[in-house]
Amino acid sequence: MLKQRPRLKGASAKRNLKSMEERVNPATQVGRARRKGNTGKWIMMTFSIIFVVVIAVSWIATNQDRATSQSSGHVPQNLGQLELVKQITGENARAEIGKMHGKGIEMVDGYIAEYSHNQSRVTVWVAEAPSEPDAFSLLKQMVDRIGAGNQAFRNLRAISVGDKEVFTADGSGGQHYFYAKDNKVIWLAIQGAEPIGVVKAALKTF
C-alpha cells in the first residue's frame, strides 16, 4: 500500500511550487547564469580600473620626482667623454659657490661636479640665479671683479665658442672658462684636456 505524501498548504506550498518551477524553467536558469556572468565582468572591470589608476599615479609621482630633481640640482653624469666622479649639491654646494662668487649674490640653487677621463679632469661650478637677467648680472660682476685685478686669476679675455661669448682666465687649478646660459652661470676649471672641446661639450650639457 502506497503512502501518500502530506499535502502542503498555504504559503509553504506556494514557495515549493515556485522553487520547482524555477528549477525546471530554462529561462530562469539562463537569467541566473547571466547575472553570475555580469557579476564576474563587473569584478574584472573594477580590478582593471584600480590597476590602471595605480599605474597612472605611480607614473605621475615618478615624473614629478624627476622634474623636481632636474630643476633643483640635477647633475649630468657625463661631460663629453668625461665621467662624473664627484658631486656636491644642496647647502654645501651653495656655500662653496658663494665663496667663489663673493657675498651678496642671488642664487636659488647650484652644484659642483668633478669629471674625469684618463689624465683629464674638469671641475664645474653651476650657480642657478632666480632669472636669466640675474644670471647675466652675476656674470658681469665676476668679469668686473677679475678685470679690476685679482690675485687668483689673471689675463682675463673674452672668446667666442660657436655663437657663445665665453670668458677665460689663467689661474691655479688649470685653465678657467665661465659663461652665462639661461638662468645659470657655469664655471669650468680644466686640467689635462683640450679646453675648447670641453667648453663645447659644456655648452651642450649645462
Local structure of residue 162 (DSSP, 8 states): T
Q: Using 50, 70 and 90 to split pLDDT, how confident is the model at 63? A: very low
**Cell reading at 155:** 689675463
Residue type, 17: L
Q: Strands 78-79, 153-161: parallel, antiparallel or unpaired by DSSP?
A: unpaired
**204, pLDDT greater than 60:** yes
**Higher per-residue confidence, 80 vs 3:** 80
The reported pLDDT for the residue numbered 173 is 83
Average pLDDT over residues 49-71: 44
Q: Is 4 helix (H, G, I), strand (E, B) or coil?
A: coil
Q: Give me the residues paired with residue 191 across strands.
A: 121
**Cell reading at 88:** 656636491
The reported pLDDT for the residue numbered 48 is 57
Altogether, the residues listed in the chain come to a count of 206
**137, pLDDT greater than 50:** yes
Residue type, 170: D
The reported pLDDT for the residue numbered 72 is 41
The reported pLDDT for the residue numbered 54 is 43
- Domains of the chain, by residue range, sit at 13-70, 76-205
**Higher per-residue confidence, 172 vs 35:** 172
Q: Using 50, 70 and 90 to split pLDDT, how confident is the model at 68? A: very low
Average pLDDT over residues 153-179: 94
Nearest partner of 200 among 51, 39, 115, 79, judged by Cα:
79
- Dihedral angle over CA of 185, 186, 189, 195, nearest 10: -130
**Higher per-residue confidence, 149 vs 71:** 149
Write the CATH number of the domain with boundaries 76-205: 3.40.1000.70
The reported pLDDT for the residue numbered 64 is 40
pTM strictly above 0.75: no
**Edge-to-edge strand ranges of the sheet holding 78-79:** 78-79, 82-89, 109-117, 120-128, 184-191, 174-181, 164-171, 153-161
What pLDDT, in 10s, does the model give residues 34-59?
555 666 665 666 555 665 444 543 44
Residue type, 111: Y
The reported pLDDT for the residue numbered 150 is 78
Q: Using 50, 70 and 90 to split pLDDT, how confident is the model at 9? A: low
